Amino acid sequence: MKRKLFHGALATTLAISVLPFSSITSIANAEGSPVTMKVRLLETTDIHAHIMDYDYYGDKSVTNFGLVRTSTLLKQRQAEVENSILVDNGDLIQGNPLGEYVNKQGLSDGQVHPIISAMNLLDYDAATLGNHEFNYGLDFLNETMDDAEYPVVNANVFHAGNQEDYYFKPYEIVEKEFVDDNGETHTVKVGFTGFVPPQINVWDKKHLDGKVVTKDIVESAKKIIPEMKEQGADLIIVIAHTGVDSSEGISGAENAVFDLTKQVSDIDAVVSGHQHNLFPGDARFNAVANIDNVKGTVNGVPVVMPKNWGSHLGLIDLELKRTAVIEGDEEWEVVDSQSKAESISGVTEQNQEMVAAVKNAHESTLDYVRKSVGTTSAPINSFFSLVQDDPSIQIVTDAQKWYAKEKLKGTEYEGMPLLSVGAPFKAGGRNGADYFTNIPQGDLAIKNVGDLYLYDNTVQIVKITGADVKEWLEMSAGQFNQIDPTSQEEQNIVNTEFPTYNYDVIDGVTYQIDVTKPAKYSTNGTVVNSDSSRIKDLMYDGKPIDLDQEFLVVTNNYRASGGGNFPGNLSSKIIEQYPDENRQAVMNYIMEKGEVNPSADNNWSIAPIFGDVNVTFESSPSAKSFADQSDNIKFVETLDTGFSKYDLDVSTDNWNLTIMHTNDTHAHLDNVARRVTAVEQVREATDNSILLDAGDVFSGTLFFNQYLGQADLEFMNMMKYDAMVPGNHEFDKGPSVFADFIKKAEFPIVSANIDYSKDTSIKNLFKDEIGDPGENGNIYPATILEVNGQKVGVFGLTTEDTSILANPGKNIVFENYIEKAEETIEMLENAGINKVIALTHIGYNYDKVLAEEVEGIDVIVGGHSHTLLEEPIVYNEDAEPTIILSAQEYSYFLGNADVTFDKDGVLTSWDQNLIDLDAQDENGNYLIEENNAASERLAQLAEPIEELKNVIVGESSVFLNGERDDVRTKETNLGNLIADGMLWRAQEQNTGATIAIQNAGGIRASIDQGEISLGEVLTVLPFANTLVTLDLTGQEIIESLENGVSQVEDIAGRFPQVAGLKFGYDPNKPTGSRVHSVEVKTESGFEQIKLDESYTVATNAYIADGGDGYTSFKAAKDDGRMTELFIPDYDVFQEYLTELGIVETQVEGRITIGAEPDENPGENPNEDPGDDTTNNDDSLDEDVINSDSGNGSNSNSNSNSGSSGNFLPSTATNMFNMMTIGFILVACGGVIYLIRRKQKQAQS
């Protein structure tokens, strides 16, 4: 009816041009004296069967709701004006025990529903249907509405078989006689149409599926309103059972008033409902664009919404102006309006005619609800149901689970994990301060059951995964506002925009809700914070929930059919649909038990918040007595709204932090895709976490050779490391390569004891200040990490030996780590930091010194010594503890330490849960899945590595023997070459090494004569064992050699290949006494080893740690007599090949096989001291047991024992040798005799 300029002035001009003169005159007269009138539009909505002013659940009369009171106010407001229109906006017949009772009794043909009898008394002009009208099915709805003495309209519900055929009458045009301001009467054609949320087909699928379809409200309005105009409607009233929401352009929106008023022309007024909100007046509509919360317009169109249950009366006063009279047909437009939702609080009288109309139904309902069904041993209330586990929900979930177990007996689903869902239906909110369940201890009647479960839902079961359970709870957690843990201002925890009936509690699992994080889902189910995870510590049966495990979940038809827009596509996962109502299941449960104990099992809670947060919520004043008995809820005050404010204590003095950490990964990227997954899993499972690296990312595999650390960095950036300290190997290729790494790092580098000021490559990257926060691609002495409002200081220390272990250049200076630690801690404390982590690459022994000598360090995350600490090492435990963490090497583990600080920043608890990134199940499948993106990227990065393996790194003029049976039993030229390289490299590092020992199990192949490729080197030395030196006594060296030959019969990998010494062994002797003739190389040649003298021995980290039974090595390492050089064996070998040029290595007699020579060899005429033929003794039994491990041997590495009975003396071979020698001597004698005889003959 509201006209734009074209429809007014221009259209009128066009009309005048074709009208007879008499008509033009009448228009002129009309224009000369404007005609106006006032019309009052009145609305009731969301009555929900509350005809009487009676609380059936509390069994008491009330004054704040009930149509018998609303209608009294209605009549008063009608009497004030000449012209009025009355409409009802639906949700009329369901919602309290009276509606439930009538539905259970049923309606016979011709019987009038008592609610309709009451409505017929008020002379409604029109009405529409709400979504709850469909709860009882179409047959009951049709039988109810066919007795309404007013038109019931709806324009967006259609027959399923013909989706252009309206199921209800789409509109009605009613001629109303109105009196204008001059007292003249006019006939105005008022058009009414109505709409219902299209979600009814989901919410009541069981009743509507295959019968009706419901279309988008706005699109339906665009179709029907022009038709109403064509049929002559002067004034168009939209009775919209849909709410006011400022969201725009959402197809199929549940609350569509905003788009309806913005996109559809010719709407003169909208009466709305469904949301149970107050418009105008509710503060939520203040300062919303295009919504006038005083005048009551949305996009300029008059709108009203008068809450629910008849607590308010909707009223829009319209001022109409006649714009034209064409052939006696008047046109009108709305020129002004004022909306109001008026409370009935001032009403003192009932509408007695209406009381009489529903008297019988009311009394029958009272009899029905007062029937006893059992007793409760404790009070049941919902006062605190939104902030802690609650008895009003507990009894429902218990009953549903009981019901489902009975129903599932004997089916394929019996015995499956069963969960149960409940929600707080009565939790105050928009329905007021009295809208709570409050059942005292004692008898339970049907009215109490109805109070516990308001809606006529039916029981359904869905089958979902653990992942679905988590997302279900994430959606539910939208009930809470985000709490700022750093603020001490009052913060209301409850999100009043989130419907409480969508706050699902899932019983059968335990969990906490972290309200310091943003909600993942909006109230309408769209993802708004995809990375957020409010649900923490989600457990089933006492263990973290398996996201792939299947669960049965008992719920209701509303939720299972998609109501509330919960994630997981629940409607496709329904496995059982029962005809019984959830309310009936609760009633049956109570009757079966007789007495119930509804005490909450506290399976969920708000996660404690570290700090002095002031969290409040609102509930009923009646909750005060329960708050007085609570440890964490305190009454604050009663508010003007009728609610009371309560304080919720969720604060804690303990702050938990998870420290993920790696160290000495040395370019080992083979499992990095699993590391990415592990990091993601830890972050998802914890509230507060950081990820640190303790250095030596560089050097160790071909990934470094190819990418110089950039490949590692790419994955570190992907994992979002928070900080890293440089290790010594970060300087292997000089400062410029490390500078390139720093520049692309998406995290700060911490380095407190390195002076970069004179190095041109790095000095501009170093900031001599605390990073607060540290910027990516820069170096700081320390950085401050902010973790959910808490600040953690991290500083870095690097070994002072870097100058001799790597290639930092002469301009980088490594300073005293103790002094710099003290200096940096003081800087952090001055910045207000009381939680300090030292990220170190100085080695475990120095970490211990740091923990002992420097105060103010809470956690040391260490590297350099490749130490595996399965539990934190604790210092100063009784005062202010310091713990040391280390995760070994090569990305074998992801450190995962949980620590707790008190409010003063002092550690109160700690635990380490190392994650084995290579752990496998019994079928050889990795327990941690690879991250797909990381796996794909790793494959791309690996492609050039294969090409790199073809690079020629050396040349040999001889076959290099690494055959298993040879290299594990005797000296070979390849064994010599590898040992020589180890000794050479150790000497290059100025270690003072004079001996090298390599376990033969680490040598895996031979190398043919000719060019040597990098791939061949990696095949020979595949384990990437690093070079170390040990300080050993002569006695310990002999013990190690005894171990090396102790299982030679089994061709075990512990057999030693050596450099810088030579020895013999007798395989016929018992183990432990086989080695003899041990000599060490000196400047003057080989000399007998001295048992008490100390020698520096180069070897690999594997046997230095006791691998292959080298216990004497392990003892020296544990005694602190080991120096780690951290150079992979293949790099050592490759460098040595370059050093040699062309390899010509031969067998030199370093290892001899056979009995120990006599002390006086000259007494045996058959023995030649210079004979080295025993070196190639092939007398070992070839029928041996093959023995292998990932690094040399699968024999017991902790035992040198072996049975000499497994190796028989070669007596037959020895006899054959003696006979051969005798034959040779006789032959030689004969030859000499003949020669001398000829000489004598010649002389003669």
Lowest-confidence segment of 56-60, 134-138, 897-901 by average pLDDT:
56-60
Distance of alpha carbon 304 from alpha carbon 315, whole angstroms? 7
Whether 421 maps to a domain, the answer reads yes
Residue 1059's pLDDT is 98
> In this structure, what DSSP letter does residue 843 have?
-
Do residues 799 and 846 make contact, with C-beta atoms less than 8 angstroms apart? yes
Structure token digits, residue 144: 């109810």
Distance of alpha carbon 1130 from alpha carbon 998, whole angstroms? 13
**Average pLDDT of every residue of the chain:** 89
Residue 1224's pLDDT is 58
Asked if pLDDT for residue 1 goes beyond 90, the answer is no
- Same-domain check for residues 383 and 318: no
Average of per-residue pLDDT across 891-905: 96
Q: CA–CA distance from 1195 to each of 1001, 1047, 1190 (Å)?
A: 11, 9, 11
Residue 446's pLDDT is 87
Count CB atoms within 10 A of the CB of residue 81.
13
Whether 523 maps to a domain, the answer reads yes
Distance of alpha carbon 1017 from alpha carbon 978, whole angstroms? 11
Residue 32's pLDDT is 58
Whether 295 maps to a domain, the answer reads yes
- Same-domain check for residues 685 and 566: no
Structure token digits, residue 46: 């969301």
Whether 828 maps to a domain, the answer reads yes
Whether 434 maps to a domain, the answer reads yes
Residue 611's pLDDT is 81
Whether 611 maps to a domain, the answer reads no
Radius of gyration, CA atoms only, the chain: 45
Range of the domain at 865: 655-938
> For 424-443, what is each residue's pLDDT tens digit?
999 998 889 999 999 999 99
- Same-domain check for residues 9 and 154: yes
Structure token digits, residue 376: 């409760």
Lowest-confidence segment of 607-611, 642-646, 725-729, 735-739 by average pLDDT:
607-611
Distance of alpha carbon 1059 from alpha carbon 1084, whole angstroms? 16
- Same-domain check for residues 526 and 388: yes
Q: CA–CA distance from 728 to each of 88, 321, 472, 824 (Å)?
A: 80, 88, 49, 20
- The number of distinct structural domains making up the chain is 5
Residue 22: pLDDT band (50, 70, 90) is very low
Residue 1225's pLDDT is 55
Distance of alpha carbon 192 from alpha carbon 128, whole angstroms? 9
Residue 1222: pLDDT band (50, 70, 90) is low
The C-alpha angle with vertex 176 and arms to 337 and 321, in degrees rounded to 5, equals 40
Distance of alpha carbon 1062 from alpha carbon 689, whole angstroms? 54
Residue 1194: pLDDT band (50, 70, 90) is very low
The burial of 930, by beta-carbon neighbours within 10 Å (0-12 exposed, 13-18 middle, 19 or more buried), is given as: middle
Q: CA–CA distance from 573 to each of 199, 420, 578 (Å)?
A: 19, 15, 15
Question: Tell me, what CATH number does 521's domain have?
Answer: 3.90.780.10
> For 517-533, what is each residue's pLDDT tens digit?
999 999 999 999 998 99
The C-alpha angle with vertex 798 and arms to 797 and 804, in degrees rounded to 5, equals 160
> For 972-1003, what is each residue's pLDDT tens digit?
999 999 999 999 999 999 999 999 999 998 99
Residue 948's pLDDT is 85
Lowest-confidence segment of 578-587, 774-783, 868-877, 880-889 by average pLDDT:
578-587
Lowest-confidence segment of 595-604, 800-809, 1117-1126 by average pLDDT:
800-809
Residue 154's pLDDT is 98
Distance of alpha carbon 883 from alpha carbon 838, whole angstroms? 10
> For 385-400, what is each residue's pLDDT tens digit?
999 999 999 999 999 9
- Same-domain check for residues 1198 and 1221: no
Residue 110's pLDDT is 84
- Same-domain check for residues 1238 and 1182: no
Asked if pLDDT for residue 1208 goes beyond 60, the answer is no
> Residues 6 or more apart from 740 whose CB is under 8 A from it?
708, 709, 710
Asked if pLDDT for residue 24 goes beyond 50, the answer is no
Distance of alpha carbon 493 from alpha carbon 514, whole angstroms? 11
Residue 1228's pLDDT is 54
Residue 1209: pLDDT band (50, 70, 90) is very low
Asked if pLDDT for residue 804 goes beyond 90, the answer is no
Distance of alpha carbon 1188 from alpha carbon 1054, whole angstroms? 10
Asked if pLDDT for residue 21 goes beyond 70, the answer is no
Residue 949's pLDDT is 86
> For 208-231, what is each residue's pLDDT tens digit?
999 999 999 999 999 999 999 999
Whether 639 maps to a domain, the answer reads no
Residue 797's pLDDT is 98
Do residues 776 and 748 make contact, with C-beta atoms less than 8 angstroms apart? yes
Average of per-residue pLDDT across 106-111: 89
Tokens 């400062």 belong to which residue?
735
Residue 701's pLDDT is 84
Tokens 């002569």 belong to which residue?
1034
Query: For 499-512, b where at least 16 C-beta lie within 10 A, e where not — what string?
Result: bbbbbbbbbbbbbb
Do residues 173 and 162 make contact, with C-beta atoms less than 8 angstroms apart? no
Residue 1229: pLDDT band (50, 70, 90) is low
- Same-domain check for residues 353 and 412: no
> In this structure, what DSSP letter does residue 960 have?
B
Whether 488 maps to a domain, the answer reads no
- Same-domain check for residues 331 and 430: no
Final residue belonging to a domain, choices 337, 365, 393:
365
Tokens 């209608």 belong to which residue?
71
Final residue belonging to a domain, choices 365, 394, 409:
365
Structure token digits, residue 433: 């301060």
Residue 1219's pLDDT is 52
Average of per-residue pLDDT across 361-368: 94
Distance of alpha carbon 663 from alpha carbon 727, whole angstroms? 9
Do residues 193 and 228 make contact, with C-beta atoms less than 8 angstroms apart? yes
Structure token digits, residue 819: 């002094």
Distance of alpha carbon 7 from alpha carbon 251, whole angstroms? 29
Residue 1159's pLDDT is 52
- Same-domain check for residues 126 and 99: yes
Residue 1207's pLDDT is 34
Instruction: Give the strands of the sheet with 329-343, arranged side by side.
Output: 126-127, 84-88, 36-44, 312-326, 329-343
Could you report how far apart the first and last alpha carbons of the chain are, in Å? 157
Asked if pLDDT for residue 90 goes beyond 60, the answer is yes
Average of per-residue pLDDT across 822-828: 97
The DSSP H or E segment spanning 574 is: strand 574-581
Average of per-residue pLDDT across 736-750: 97
Average of per-residue pLDDT across 704-720: 96
What are the two backbone dihedrals, phi and then psi, of residue 771, each rounded to the nearest 5 degrees? -75, 115
- Same-domain check for residues 357 and 376: no
Final residue belonging to a domain, choices 587, 606, 625:
606
Asked if pLDDT for residue 20 goes beyond 50, the answer is no
| H-only helix segments in 641-759 | 672-685, 702-707, 710-719, 735-743
> For 607-620, what is each residue's pLDDT tens digit?
999 888 999 999 99
Average of per-residue pLDDT across 119-128: 97
Asked if pLDDT for residue 1206 goes beyond 50, the answer is no
Lowest-confidence segment of 330-344, 566-580, 830-844, 1076-1090 by average pLDDT:
566-580
Strands 185-195, 1122-1128: pairing is: unpaired
Residue 26: pLDDT band (50, 70, 90) is very low
- Same-domain check for residues 414 and 297: no
Asked if pLDDT for residue 595 goes beyond 80, the answer is yes
Do residues 438 and 622 make contact, with C-beta atoms less than 8 angstroms apart? yes
Asked if pLDDT for residue 1199 goes beyond 70, the answer is no
Crossing angle of helices 710-719/672-685, nearest 10°? 20
Tokens 């437009």 belong to which residue?
333
> Max CA-CA distance within the chain?
178
Residue 165's pLDDT is 95
- Same-domain check for residues 380 and 360: no
Lowest-confidence segment of 25-34, 523-532, 839-848 by average pLDDT:
25-34
Residue 1048: pLDDT band (50, 70, 90) is very high
Question: Tell me, what CATH number does 38's domain have?
Answer: 3.60.21.10
Given 3-state DSSP classes, what are the helix, strand and coil percentages for the chain, each rounded to the nearest 5? 30, 25, 40
